[in-house]
Chain A
Amino acid sequence: QKEVEQDPGPLSVPEGAIVSLNCTYSNSAFQYFMWYRQYSRKGPELLMYTYSSGNKEDGRFTAQVDKSSKYISLFIRDSQPSDSATYLCAGTTNAGGTSYGKLTFGQGTILTVHP
C-alpha cells in the first residue's frame, strides 16, 4: 500500500464548478501536507501547504486536513479552464532535519475544466 493514495481521475468539470480533490494517507507521523499543481510538460509547483489538521484558504483554493481519518482535500471554487492540470498531494513528517528533503507524493489527479 502506498503511503499516500490519490484517485488519478481523470476528472472533467464545467467552468464555474466546485472541484473536490482528495487523498488518503497511512503514515500517522505525517504532519505537513502539500498540494502541488503540474501543468502539462512542466514540473510541479507548490500550490498550498497545511500543518496538522484544519483548513487553509487562499483565494479560490481551500486545503483541508482531517488527521483523525487521514484524509486530505483540496477544494477549488469557481473553477477556470486555467485550473486544468494534474494535482498532486504530498505529506511529510515535519521532523526537521532530513524530513525537509523527503516528501511522499500521491499518484496525482488529472483535472480538466472545460468552458
Chain B
Amino acid sequence: EAQVTQNPRYLITVTGKKLTVTCSQNMNHEYMSWYRQDPGLGLRQIYYSMNVEVTDKGDVPEGYKVSRKEKRNFPLILESPSPNQTSLYFCASSKGDSYEQYFGPGTRLTVT
C-alpha cells in the first residue's frame, strides 16, 4: 500500500530534550515536506526537500532541522524543543512533477 508513515504518532516531552520524528514514504517520491498545523493558523511548511541531500526552508523553519540522506526518509529534528513547538506535525511527499502531496497521519507533539 502506497503510504507516508510517521513515528511516533503521539509524543510528550520536556523543554530542551532533543527529539526526532521520523517520516518514510514508499512511493519513490522526490519531494518531501514537513508541516505544522495549529488552530487558526492552518498548515505551515517547516522544511522541504527536492531530493536526496537537497533541502530548503519553508515558512517557519526556526527551531527545526531536517536531513535527507535517503530518498524514502525525511526525519524532523528538534534539538532543543520549546513549548511553542507544541503542535500537530505532518510529513508529506510528492512526485517531482506533481503538486499532489500525500500526507502522513500526523504526529501530535506536546512540549512541557
**Residue A42 lies at the interface, judged by CB distance under 8 Å to chain B:** yes
Q: A100-B31, A100-B94 are in contact. Are A32 and B42 (CB under 8 A)?
A: no
Residue of A nearest to B105 (CB): A43
Given the complex, which residues of A lie within 8 Å of B58, measured CB to CB?
Answer: 102
Q: A101-B94, A107-B40 are in contact. Are A32 and B99 (CB under 8 A)?
A: yes
B42 touching A106, Cβ below 8 Å: yes
**Residue A34 lies at the interface, judged by CB distance under 8 Å to chain B:** yes
Taking a contact as CB atoms closer than 8 A, the residue among B40, B45, B97 that contacts A103 in the complex is: B45
Describe B's contact surface by its main secondary structure.
strand
Contact mask for chain B residues 77-108; partner A; CB cutoff 8 A; 1 contact, 0 none = 00000000000001010111111111111100
A29-81 CB contacts (< 8 Å) to partner B: 32, 34, 41-46, 49
A102 touching B90, Cβ below 8 Å: no
Provide the bound-state CA to CA distance between A102 and B105, in Å: 20
Provide the bound-state CA to CA distance between A108 and B42, in Å: 6
Taking a contact as CB atoms closer than 8 A, the residue among B35, B40, B97, B106 that contacts A41 in the complex is: B106
Taking a contact as CB atoms closer than 8 A, the residue among B35, B40, B42, B99 that contacts A100 in the complex is: B99
Q: 27 A-B contacts, Cβ less than 8 Å apart?
A: A34-B100, A41-B105, A43-B4, A44-B43, A45-B102, A46-B100, A46-B101, A92-B99, A98-B48, A98-B50, A100-B31, A100-B94, A100-B97, A100-B99, A101-B32, A101-B33, A101-B48, A101-B49, A101-B94, A102-B58, A103-B101, A104-B45, A104-B59, A106-B42, A107-B41, A107-B42, A108-B42
